[in-house]
A and B are shown apart, each in its own frame.
Chain A
Amino acid sequence: AQSVTQLGSHVSVSEGALVLLRCNYSSSVPPYLFWYVQYPNQGLQLLLKYTSAATLVKGINGFEAEFKKSETSFHLTKPSAHMSDAAEYFCAVSDLRGAQKLVFGQGTRLTINP
């Protein structure tokens, strides 16, 4: 069975600092991996996804993530945090075969300090 672990339910960084949100996955087959973001009172929005092409994936709003098979990780980074990045972030996995449902991590709430 697939699973996702997000390390840290809350992360706080200063404006302009590096954002690093951690995600480790478990999958018996090559996975598709996703990062979603939820801003207050909005739905889940896709930030980026890995689908077995380039291991470094660039997404919207300056975010990127690197797929590391040896570490079973897909950490999300952004070089310089903006106040508008404050939101909850979810890592998710699906398998290549069915791809009919996503398995999510517990989410990481990102706070940006001025």
Chain B
Amino acid sequence: EAGVTQFPSHSVIEKGQTVTLRCDPISGHDNLYWYRRVMGKEIKFLLHFVKESKQDESGMPNNRFLAERTGGTYSTLKVQPAELEDSGVYFCASSPPATGANVLTFGAGSRLTVL
């Protein structure tokens, strides 16, 4: 089966621009998570979808970040406008129904560089 797919793999933008990251979870995985790793720091939880509903968005840093999962399939994470501190690697992960975070499959990540 296909794994979790993320794109772009790397994005370089100017401060103030907009970037949209996309995640395609494993087919049938209701749970979809976004995590972020800022340079040299720990990987931090951003939010969790169950199907199309946001279950927990307590990790979203501010209102410049908008995550959507229309139709409960793929998800997008938009950063608008991007700031320097948004640079890092954004990971997406998914898991089957009723399993939560204990059986996650991660994507390769999208590296965002804001200049």
Q: Which residues of B contact A45 (CB under 8 A)?
A: 106
In the complex, per-residue mask of B35-68: 1 if CB is within 8 Å of any chain A CB, else 0: 1000011111100100000011001000000000
16-45 of chain B: CB within 8 A of chain A: 33, 35, 40-45
B109 at the interface (CB under 8 A from A): yes
- Is A44 within 8 A of B56, CB to CB? no
How many residues of chain A have a CB within 8 Å of chain B?
25
* Most central of A92, A98, A102 by chain B CB within 10 Å: A102
For the side of the interface on B, what is the size category? 20 to 34
- Which one of B40, B44, B56, B107 contacts A104 once the chains associate, using CB atoms below 8 Å? B44
The answer on a CB contact under 8 Å between A43 and B45 is no
* Cβ of A4 to closest chain B Cβ, rounded Å: 8
- Determine whether the beta carbon of B4 is less than 8 Å from that of A101: no
User: In the complex the two chains form, is B42's CB within 8 Å of A107's CB?
Assistant: yes
Contact B91 A32 (CB under 8 A): no
- Take A94-B102, A102-B101 as given contacts and tell me if A42 and B108 are in contact as well, using a CB distance cutoff of 8 Å: yes
Residues in B with CB closer than 8 Å to A102 are 35, 43, 45, 101, 104
Which A residues are closer than 8 A to B by beta carbons?
Answer: 4, 9, 32, 36, 41-46, 49, 51, 90, 92, 94, 98-107
